[in-house]
Amino acid sequence: MTKKKYFHEVIEEDEKILAIGLKQSRLHKKERLDREKTKEKSLHEVLMEGFREEQEQRRLEELEEEEEEKTPSEELQDELEPIDD
């Protein structure tokens, strides 16, 4: 013979089980998000890194162009020490 259960008794048991599941789900989500934050760079960080690399490359190219454009007399002038008065 089965014992009759009232609705509020059954609901209380189900709510306890669901509360435990919800708590575990939130904990696992938090752990997963923390791992992803440390593992992957944000889009902003990736774009800024690319921007810095591009700026550095342009700076180096400009320096190379300046060195190539100097005449031999300009190069000799750069080698001379300034005269102090």
Residues 4-52 have pLDDT tens digits of 778 877 898 899 999 999 999 999 999 998 888 777 777 888 889 999 9
pLDDT of residue 2: 65
pLDDT of residue 28: 96
pLDDT of residue 54: 95
pLDDT of residue 1: 59
Distances (CA, A) of 26 to 23, 31, 85: 5, 9, 77
The pTM score is: 0.39
Report the alpha-carbon distance of residue 82 to residue 85 in Å, rounded.
10
pLDDT of residue 82: 72
Distances (CA, A) of 33 to 5, 26, 38: 42, 11, 9
Q: Which residues contact 70 (CB under 8 A, 6 or more apart)?
A: 78
Structure confidence by residue, pLDDT tens digits, 55-80: 999 999 888 877 777 777 877 887 77
Residue 21, token pair as written in the block: 């599941």
